[in-house]
Amino acid sequence: MIDKKIKLNRDCMGCHGCLNICPENCISMEEDKEGFLYPKVDYGICINCNHCINVCPIINKTLVENNPSAYACINNNEEIRLASSSGGIFTLVAEYVIDKGGIVFGACFNNRFELEHDYVKTRKELSKLRGSKYLQSKVGNSYNKAKYFLDSGTKVLFTGTPCQIEGFKAFLGRKKYDNLITIDIICHGVPSPKVWRKYVEFRERKADSLTQRISFRLKNEGWKRYSVSFSFKNNTEYRRNLNEDLYMKAFLKDVCLRPSCYDCEFKTLNRQSDITLADFWGIGNILPEMDDDKGTSLVFINSEKGRKIFNSISGDMKFKEVDIYEAVKYNSAAIKSVQKNPNREKFFDDLYSLEFDELVKKYCADSLKVRIKNKAKAILIGILSKIGMLGVAKKIVGRN
């Protein structure tokens, strides 16, 4: 069965395809000691149908050649753009689907601030799906729910990481649905939900209050220097930029990612999705006229269906085609996995015994050279901002 066919703690990416396909509901997803979900088979009710093995995209690799094109895009609606992680293009596609009576699946927080897949039917509900969330979502039985809507003729937009889209397509048996649209993202890798829970608990102890709202991508200091924000029920707020927030330090140091992310099978330009969305890092070097530090999306069009949707929403955005290989030079996560941090195992060994700030300080500290560079940059940006040279300051933020 699936838990014997692959090396779960190395190869399984947690797509939930096996859980959704099982006709006897004998597969559950259980957390390992690091907090990642893996399939567990109840052999007492398993009928050895092998559906779980046949649906696994790791065991059954599917290659496509789709010759994608790439664009820099910005939503014309400034309010939506500022509320989005990058250029606000997800919202345009999602509104297009909803306006045609469709539904949209994506990742959102539940009332315990755990990330899970869910669907929405109205424009108003889209806000809970909008914006990046840097941890692995629990797909649950979303594939089955989406299939139900597809089979009933409802238009469905299903969004997720590349491995989740692969898992969903495999679950559908690679069947072509005219009413299905898929969007994936350029994924850095997914951190442990257990690490995330520990961080939320740490923040709530510091605030002496429960969390009311969380944003990973607040643009108060600009798109390139985005902030993580917690709003608490006692009306206090925590806000730090990506270089200062403890959780983002652990994430960007690649110390708490799922094991399969360090050798991801789905880092490619030939994707299963119709559209790929990402931040367009490096846009200032390629198209400086589309870089105002409010957010620009990098969009790959991977299929004819994706092309038709792009054309349908093109009147609601600014866009320019770019050379895809030039874009990937600044967005290497599209085709290249990150390297495993040598401290990863030690980080997880100490996860229970150390406070979160102690854990990050021990295993994610910047080198002295990096600390001096960041301090000097912060001082320079502060001076330039005070003397009215905010534009120059933002350009400095955008440089490596």
Quick one: pLDDT at residue 64?
82
Dump pLDDT digits (tens) for 316-335. 999 999 999 999 999 999 99
Q: Are residues 347 and 238 in the same domain?
A: yes
Residues 320 and 187 in one domain: yes
- Tokens 């290497």 locate to 332
pLDDT of residue 127: 96
Q: For residues 184 and 316, state if they share a domain.
A: yes
Cβ burial, residue 235 (10 Å; 0-12/13-18/19+) = exposed
Q: Is 399 a residue whose pLDDT tops 60?
A: no
Smallest CA-to-CA distance from 267 within 184, 350, 387 is with: 184
- Tell me if 61 is assigned to some domain: no
Each residue's pLDDT tens digit, 331-370: 999 999 999 999 999 999 999 999 999 999 999 987 655 5
Do residues 206 and 310 share a domain? no
Q: What is the pLDDT of residue 353?
A: 96
Residues 185/278, Cβ–Cβ less than 8 Å: yes
Q: What is the CATH number of the domain that holds 22?
A: 3.30.70.20
What confidence category does residue 30 fall into, taking pLDDT thresholds of 50, 70 and 90? very high
Q: What angle do CA 228, 230, 235 make, to 5 degrees?
A: 145
What DSSP assignment string belongs to 50-101? -HHHHH-TTTS--------EEEEEEES-HHHHHHSSSSSHHHHHHHHHHHTT
**Whether residue 361 sits in one domain with residue 372:** no
323 within a domain of the structure (yes/no): yes
Q: Is the pLDDT of residue 229 over 60?
A: yes
Residue 62 lies in a domain: no
- The amino acid at residue 112 is R
Give the number of domains in the chain.
4
- Range 193-202 average pLDDT: 98
- Residue 266 tokens, joined: 């789905």
Return the H-helix or E-strand segment holding 371. helix 368-386
303 shares a domain with 186: yes
| Region class of 295: left (phi > 0), else alpha (psi between -120 and 50), else beta | left
Domain with 244 in it? 193-256+338-365
* Distance (Å, whole) CA 135 – CA 114: 9
Tell me the average pLDDT across 253-274. Answer: 96
186 lies in some domain: yes
